[in-house]
Amino acid sequence: MKLALLLLRLLPPEISHFIALNALNLLYKLHLTSIVFPHKHASESFEFKGLIFKNKLGIAAGLDKNGDFFNSLGALGFGFIEVGTITPVAQSGNPKPRIFRFLNQGAIVNRLGFNNKGVDYLVKKIKLRNFNGILGINIGANKTSEGQKRVDDYLECFKKVYPYADYITVNISSPNTPNLRSLHQKENFLPLFKALHLARNEAKYRNPIFIKLSPDEDEQIIAEILVAIEKFEFDGVITSNTTVQKDNLRYSGQHNLEGGLSGRPLLEKSNELLKLTHSHAPDLLKIGVGGVDSKESFNSKLDNGASLVQIYTSFIYQGPEILNRLLR
């Protein structure tokens, strides 16, 4: 396993990502996943709104954008998988190179820009679901959408995915789609939240809806969003998305580091947002994500108010063995 990870790191990030996930899919189809990656951990389950999470560890959105790999990822033993971010229309994302590794710091900077095959493709894949854990779907807006069209993008995704989603995450916090984070401003998030609230009631969708927050906003903005989340009867928050601040990342000037930072350097900042949301809304469910790469950092999320935890960068660097390290 260590040799495979070393070889993958020699390849460009997006190529190694493609190879690794397709290799995992092959193991799954050959019914070899549990043999190659046996579960060596106890499962502490968690229940929320009738959903049973067999353990508290999940994969964050971004790893499986199009629903191509959630069955094989689920076979590794995750309690929940979140796919997406998905948009109404397929888009290629930002120009390459757009992923930068900082292995020694356990960090990644990406500026992918919601590259995905569109919501209709995702729905086709999810109809082939075998994964019996909790499946979340993360929705967003296309890059060129503005104003009401942007709200309509979220509504279109919601209406197409809700019959298949154990929960839905509304991504208003990616730093890689122009002006998306302006949805943290009251004049922008109120119309979006109201529209989603009405769509949810019309669809009679009773499963959770979460809002994914940016770690780069100040307390007043976060407090206003939390008030609106409770007003429109959403169920929780995911704290947090990547950060555009890279003060604690060591890198040479040769890199153009626009994009979002994930991994170990994000831990403190994401935990600050987690603590902040917990202090303002202690009864709201929180999923903690950002910088989790050890049992200690996993526990820090739970200690600061999270009920569930997601990983992304540490899975890329450490592979499936990370589950046993975090859950046993």
Per-residue pLDDT of 121-147, as tens digits, reads 999 999 999 999 999 999 999 999 999
- Over residues 217-227, the mean pLDDT reads 95
Q: pTM for the whole thing? A: 0.94
pLDDT exceeds 90 at position 15: no
Residue 115 is predicted with a pLDDT of 93
Count of H helices and E strands in the chain? 12, 13
Beta strand 99-102 pairing with 107-110: antiparallel
Answer yes or no: 174 catalytic: yes
pLDDT exceeds 60 at position 254: no
Residue 328 is given by DSSP the state: -
- Over residues 228-257, the mean pLDDT reads 87
Lowest-confidence pick of 51-65, 126-140, 196-210, 248-262: 248-262
User: 29-55 pLDDT, tens per residue?
Assistant: 999 999 999 887 777 899 999 999 999
Provide the percentage of residues in the chain whose pLDDT is more than 90: 80
Whole-angstrom distance, CA of residue 277 vs CA of residue 274: 5
Residue 162 is given by DSSP the state: G
pLDDT exceeds 60 at position 188: yes
Which residue in 72, 174, 262, 300 is the catalytic one?
174
Residues 123, 214, 312, 254, CA torsion sign = positive
Q: Please, where are the H alpha helices in 182-312? A: 186-203, 219-231, 267-280, 295-303
Mean pLDDT of the chain: 92
Domain 2-327 CATH class label: alpha beta
pLDDT exceeds 80 at position 307: yes
Domain spans, the chain? 2-327
Whether the CB-CB separation of 274 and 302 falls below 8 Å is answered with no
- Over residues 231-254, the mean pLDDT reads 88
- Over residues 231-251, the mean pLDDT reads 92
Residue 7 is predicted with a pLDDT of 67
pLDDT exceeds 90 at position 1: no
- Over residues 175-203, the mean pLDDT reads 93
Please name the helix (run of DSSP H) or strand (run of DSSP E) that holds residue 42, with its range, or none: none
pLDDT exceeds 70 at position 256: no
pLDDT exceeds 80 at position 82: yes
Cβ neighbourhood burial of 93 (10 Å; 0-12, 13-18, 19+): middle
pLDDT exceeds 60 at position 13: yes
Residue 3 is predicted with a pLDDT of 63
Q: What angle do CA 269, 221, 152 make, to 5 degrees?
A: 105
pLDDT exceeds 80 at position 210: yes
Query: Cβ neighbours of residue 164 under 8 Å, at least 6 residues apart?
Result: 123, 126, 127, 129, 135, 137
